[in-house]
Structure 1
């Protein structure tokens, strides 16, 4: 007899939605952190150039927007659950 590892199937639609939410939030946070890092490096390396400073600030705004969306993701999922009815 051989041992076979089987991935457990989600128990319900709620479990699938929660797992999907967790993956999406993780990706959003990772992407926002990348934008935050790039924006910070651009700001440091701008050297006083107003165009580069503005581009760096815009990148930092996008990072903040990404973090905001990641924070609101559970709320959006609960609204979707209410619409779907699960």
Structure 2
């Protein structure tokens, strides 16, 4: 049995404009972008720390169980602070714009 195939080359689409993608319109836009990026990063770190604390709590002895509770508590405090930080940046952004 013989199978004949033909593959066409694929080419990238030409850019739609000549302007770079990284130009921000204002300082407020830059602050908004940084705020979104840092919030996403902080939530990812929070999730990892909470899971680590839960693993310590569920899979360990007495001393490590308390450390797991403390890690989850600190992760929740960090999450609340992470959610309040954009509020402070929004207030600062109001002064800049």
More helix by share: 1
Is the counterpart of residue 70 in structure 1 residue 82 in structure 2?
A: yes
**RMSD across aligned positions (CA):** 2.0
In structure 1, stretches of 5+ residues that fail to align are none
Structure possessing the higher radius of gyration over alpha carbons: 2
Does the Cα contact within 8 Å between 2:43 and 2:82 map onto a contact in 1? Answer: yes
TM-score by length of 1: 0.81
In structure 2, stretches of 5+ residues that fail to align are 1-13
TM-score by length of 2: 0.73
Moved more, 4-13 or 62-71: 4-13
Distance 1:14 1:56 in 2: 40
Selected match of 1:43 from 50, 54, 57: 57
Q: With CA pairs under 8 Å and 6+ residues apart, which has the higher RCO, 1 or 2?
A: 1
Does the Cα contact within 8 Å between 1:46 and 1:53 map onto a contact in 2? Answer: yes
Structure 1 residue 65, shift from structure 2 partner: 1.5
**Aligned residues between the structures:** 82
